[in-house]
Amino acid sequence: MDTLVQTRAADLPALFREKRGRLGVIGLGYVGLPICLAAARAGLDVIGFDIDKAKPEALRRNESYLKHIDAAAVTAAVESGRFQATSDLALLSEADALLICVPTPLTAHLDPDLSYVVKTAEMIAEILRPGQIVILESTTYPGTTEDVVRPILEQGGLKVGEDILLAFSPEREDPGNERFSSATIPKVVGADDELSLAAVTAVYDAFVERTVQVSSSRVAEAVKLTENIFRAVNIALVNELKLVYEPMGVDVWEVIDAAKTKPFGFMPFYPGPGLGGHCIPIDPFYLTWKAREYGMATRFIELAGQINSAMPQHVVNRLAQALDMHSERGLNGARVLVLGVAYKKNVDDMRESPALKLIELVEARGAKTEFYDPFVSLIPPTREHAALSGRRSLPWSAALAGGYDATLIVTDHDTVDYRAIVDCAPLVVDTRNACRRFGVQSSKIVLA
């Protein structure tokens, strides 16, 4: 093996410890862009790459296309000279570390769709040079880094652990979370050889407060799945408790608020209208799919998925019931205002939002819907809900809810004036307990 190549690979840890290494980030979305900005703030040179040319162009104009990321942060990174956004693949050859931050969705049959990861690995292979480390951040099943990405990278003759390095570090972004950021959330890192592990640790140590080493890429991949399965299962539990307590006249939100006063042995999770985001509705099924290869059934995970997937239908049934009890008309022919279509509060992220399924279910029952969301002005194209693409948010007015038979609160954005909504609306169906959380109470409010 060429001594120069060996030395260059071996030099990667020192290169990043001294902050002389250049970072290349592939995918400038909810994961990739925050990483770029955090690394640039820490003093690293960063090349951000995206095949969607509109994103690099916006960043070069000092604009942010993600509402939870301030344009000032983009401006600071660009003007520092440490952040370059591009759609030119060739520039990635200049990076010492290449981070893959691309989507890993499911197919229509709930099987993993690794097409974005595979295509990205193939692109990297075209420009890969000795002495680089490739780090996969996209959530996936154990074995993807070693069994899928590695063979693609090695097709040109470069060997992982010798000429090039390879590792996995699961993304832990939480858009809209003001307490934690890319730089302050501990970063799990795993690799299958000592040099790759040392290098990936040094890469993240350069801009993240703490790295946590695990013994292999498979363990690191399993860490991310475990985190999201934990959330999915516990959310399913409280969703089921909500269904059980409702006919008993017991408010599940009050129960949870009282239970969380116990200083040990309890962690609060809250029910909702269905799961959203790119992680919790999707990631558990990656393990379910992989488990079949080993003759294992993930019954607990699949049951949680069934419970969470059924919540939009429950919400629509509660809406119909509430209209029967509080108005002269039922759901058929009613006008319904959907309040919030982002998948979680205070962000513009529409990925897997339960609001889209709810709109379709409500309209299938004969109602007409419109929506207001202070973060989402336009519903973007989606594979599952293509017919809703292009619908626009209503403008805000204090009397907004007055023109509808019911207002359905789906996303509990903090900036909404819930008192104005309740004052004007003849009926409010609240799937998030938002009204009470903001101190608004009325007999017109129905929890769902």
Residues 260, 280: Cα–Cα separation, whole Å: 23
- Domain presence at residue 168: yes
Residue 147's CATH number: 3.40.50.720
- Are residues 147 and 73 both part of a single domain? yes
**Tokens linked to 437:** 């959380």
CA distance 171 to 368: 39
- Is 235 found in the same domain as 181? no
Task: Note whether 258 and 210 are same-domain residues.
Answer: no
Q: Which of 157, 180, 215 is the last residue of a domain?
A: 215
Same domain for 340 and 211: no
Kindly state whether residues 129 and 264 are assigned to the same domain. Answer: no
Are residues 268 and 398 located together in one domain of the fold? yes
Whether residue 63 is contained in a domain is answered as yes
Q: What is the pLDDT along the chain (448 residues), one digit of tens a residue?
A: 343 334 488 899 999 999 999 999 999 999 999 999 999 999 999 999 999 999 999 999 999 999 889 999 999 999 999 999 999 999 999 999 999 999 999 888 888 999 999 999 999 999 999 999 999 999 999 999 999 999 999 999 999 999 999 999 999 988 878 788 889 999 999 999 999 999 999 999 999 999 999 999 999 999 999 999 999 999 999 999 999 999 999 999 999 999 999 999 999 999 999 988 778 888 899 999 999 999 999 999 999 999 999 999 999 999 999 999 988 789 999 999 999 999 999 999 998 999 999 999 999 999 999 999 999 999 999 888 999 999 999 999 999 999 999 999 999 999 999 999 999 999 999 999 999 999 999 999 999 9
pLDDT at 109: 82
Q: Is 222 a member of any domain?
A: no
In a domain, 319, yes or no: yes
Domain termination site, one of 181, 215, 249: 215
Q: How many C-beta atoms lie closer than 10 Å to residue 20's C-beta?
A: 14
* CA proximity to 354, closest of 334, 382, 330: 382
The residues, any chain, with a CB within 8 Å of residue 151's CB and separated by 6 or more, are none
Active centre residues (catalytic): 279
Evaluate whether residue 302 is within a structural domain: yes
Does 256 map to a domain?
yes
Q: What is the pTM of this model?
A: 0.91
Same domain, 132 and 178: yes
The pLDDT score that the predictor gives to residue 7 is 45
What are φ and ψ of residue 298, in 5° steps?
A: -95, 70
| Res 176: pLDDT | 79
Angle between helices 299-309 and 311-326 (to 10 degrees): 30
**Which residue, 179, 180, 186, 189, is CA-closest to 209?**
186
- State whether 142 and 251 are in the same domain: no
- 63 vs 51: CA distance, rounded Å: 18
In this structure, the answer to whether residues 50 and 11 fall within a common structural domain is yes
Sign of the dihedral through C-alpha 102, 107, 113, 119: negative
Q: Is residue 53 part of a domain?
A: yes
Shared-domain flag, residues 261 and 186: no
Q: Which domain holds residue 184?
A: 3-215
**443 shares a domain with 333:** yes
38 and 134, same domain (yes or no): yes
Of 215, 250, 266, which marks where a domain is finished? 215
What does the alpha-carbon distance between residue 160 and residue 193 come to, in Å, rounded to a whole number? Answer: 9
Question: To which residue do tokens 């129960």 refer?
Answer: 255
Domains identified in the chain, total number: 2
